[in-house]
Every structure is written in C-alpha cells, then in structure tokens.
A = this chain, B = another copy of it.
C-alpha cells in the first residue's frame, strides 16, 4: 500500500468527490483508460477558490489550489478503482483562470503534478499541457482534467 503510506507521510487525506455541476460523471472508464472530469479547487464547505490568477490570486496561491485539485482527482480515482496503487497518470490538462498577460501556468499546474508524483512515485509522472483560460465555471482559479491508466491486479 505504498501510495497510501506516502499520503500518510505527507499528512494528506483524500477529499470527498465534488458533486458534478452538470449532466456528467466524475470519471469514465474505457478499457484500461480512466478519464477524469475536470475539477476545480473545492473547500470543505462546498464553495470554490475563485479569482483571476495574476490579479486577484498569486501564482503561489494558485499552486496550492492546483495541489488540492490533484488530491481531489486522486480521491476520485481511488474510489473508482478501489486501490490507488493500481493507478498511473498518463496525461494532464491544467487550465488556469488567468489575466491575459499571465505567463507562469507551468508553475501553477506543478501543484497538481507535484502531488501526483509525491503520492504515486514514477507512476505519477505524466505528459501535460498547462494553459490560460478566459473564464472557468464559478470563477474557479484552476481546473484540471486527467487521463489515467488502471493497472491490472497483481
């Protein structure tokens, strides 16, 4: 149970799955691929971290939001697959709700990527795009979607 030990060592717990804001599901399997729906950073009370990065929110704060989203995505995967050790991250699309001259998207989305690698080790390493959005649902600061692979039971 390596991934769970790493979570414990990091002092982290998997947050509950946010309720989808529309007619979709948080994750869908296709063969061994698990497509995770985009998520934003959710507070325990169900509200979101909001604001334009580069104006209302610093990249350092947005990094923390992306880290939280990474943890939320792992939470969804753990519940769907049943064992986080059977999960490999393939591809991440990290979207930052930023001002037009923002340039540090990679630094922000590293928050999500760092948590994937910290919890899953080499299996957390992934290909990625990190880009700037004009707007995001509810004014969220970041939104990340991911494609994972589900490994066979050992």
Contact = CB atoms under 8 A, between A and B. Distances in A.
Interface of A: 21-28, 30-33, 35-38, 52, 88, 90-93, 95-96, 98-107, 109-110, 113-114, 117, 125-139, 143, 145, 147, 149
B137 A37 contact: no
A28 B27 CA distance: 20
A28 B133 contact: no
A96 B101 CA distance: 14
Contacts of A23: 110, 113-114, 117
Given A132-B136, A133-B133, A25 B101 contact: no
Contact of A145 (B21, B88, B129, B139): B129
